[in-house]
Amino acid sequence: MAAATLFHTTRLAGRLYSPRRKERLYDVIAMSTTLFGYILCIKMNHNRRYWSPEQESHRSHTWKRRRRSQSRDRNDRGHHQHSWETQRRSRSRSHDRDSDHRRRHERRPSDRSEDVGSCYDDGYSTRSHHRQHSRDQDRPRTKRRHQHRCRKRKTRSCSSTSSRSHQSSKRGKSVEDDKEGHLVCRTGDWLQERYEIVGGLGEGTFGKVVECMDHNSSKSRIALKIIRNVGKYREAAQLEINVLKKIREKDKENKFMCVLMSDWFNFHGHVCIAFELLGKNTFEFLKENNFVPYPLSHIRHMAYQLCQALSFLHDNRLTHTDLKPENILFVNSAFNTLYNERKKCEERVLKNSNIRVADFGSATFDHEHHTTIVATRHYRPPEVILEVGWAQPCDVWGIGCILFEYYRGFTLFQTHENREHLVMMEKFLGPLPSRMIRKTRKQKYFHKGKLIWDETTSDGKYVTENCHPLETYMLQNSLEHMQLFDLLKRMLSYEPSMRITLHEALSHPFFSGLTQEERALCPRSSNRDLSR
């Protein structure tokens, strides 16, 4: 019909064509084009009536499945912004540099995005928000968007415990993940017919940590780390599980202050790791106490335990690589509140300073491949920044940075850039060794053996005004404060080979002030090899 109409219209146009009838020809062509389009639309609507409901359902399902796979690919590539960063501690300075106090205590989101691996008690927050559209646009798409973002699976889960069975119909609700691969779970949900969720402990890039009641163990409380259903996080979790198994085999009595794994299993693609339930991490307690530094007696005890725990790992050819206050947890973070007459404010004072070292997602055995970059920025040693090779001494540098933070309430190196980081090191600790400068591949930072740095810029002025020799940060000139700073200087030695070992640190005079009870909590050493 359409072809016939076009044919007759063309003939009519040919008859009407003449120089004086040119305008009439254009009108006829426009009319024929409009008529042809109208007929074509009628034909398409007629054909659409015969699209079966089954075909429409299949077409919609195929589109949603394609969209889901693209979203999952974006997650695997790390395309999204990590949402946990909104409450994470920020170690950066504000660009206006108006207030040094605000720079020291405000925490910006991007600080921990460099972290490698997962952690037991990292910073937590809500997820990042997408750009909001108008309410009228959002309302009709609500159902479709929910279906697009949630994946439901009814597959059976795997477990490391042979006696486990799949969930009963009463508790076997369909499992949902959000768009980032986090397990959607609520208080009262059960996992493996054993763990009942009683509350949340936090959320991070790796997944989330929830508090559970273990019904197979007299309803004791445990912390359950639920890894995101994303391939790279599952792989990192399996590496962490391997390390935790070795630690559990060699430290059955939990004498070496490393967090203990009690169980692990795979729940619908989510690796779940059960730990002993501990208190707050040392940064969280510091933050809630308005960054009031820890008492020197607590710093001494925590430092001694850190040296014992890391010495145990180093003796067994294992390097933690990601030491920071967030990865050190109190066994019990109960406290007393006292009024500080000098500062005219209330302070929290811990009742018990016993700690546990957590987050072995980045731990590396000596015989394993050593990645180029390790450690969170603010605790990263110079050998990692200069890429001259790292080993167990990088943990010692991290302990030194942590102890300074406990002592003053703020980080030692408040930076996010390599060149500035190196300049700060020179301001605090003196010039970098010429051997490390010659050896590094990062020659772009140097000219004739000196760091390239402009002190007239805003960054240069900040470093000049706020970074001074380490000794100037000492709060008192008493013997025990001097002993602490002597230990810090030995831990923050540039050359890894010249840096104090943890066995040597345990004999440092700073620890002579420990009580017999504090020493008794920490056995001296272990020669057992975890790598076998």
State in Å, rounded, how far the first CA of the chain is from the last one.
83
Interatomic CA distance for residues 205 and 124, integer angstroms: 9
Contacts of 521 (CB under 8 A, 6+ apart): 305, 354
Q: Residue 304, SS3?
A: helix
Active-site option among 121, 322, 395, 459? 322
Interatomic CA distance for residues 227 and 208, integer angstroms: 7
Is 225 annotated as contributing to ligand binding? yes
Cα–Cα nearest to 159, from 277, 272, 260, 276: 272
Interatomic CA distance for residues 394 and 379, integer angstroms: 9
The residue assigned the tokens 């074509």 is 40
CA atoms within 13 A on the CB side of 410: 17
Sign of CA dihedral 357, 360, 363, 367: positive
DSSP annotation of 260: P
Q: Is 322 a catalytic residue?
A: yes
Interatomic CA distance for residues 258 and 312, integer angstroms: 9
What's the 3-state SS for 70-81?
HHHHHHHCCCCC
Interatomic CA distance for residues 240 and 321, integer angstroms: 13
Contacts of 122 (CB under 8 A, 6+ apart): 84, 88, 112, 115, 202, 204, 205, 206, 326, 327, 359
Residues marked active site are found at 322
**From the annotation, which residues make up the binding site?**
225
**From the annotation, which residues make up the binding site for ATP?**
225
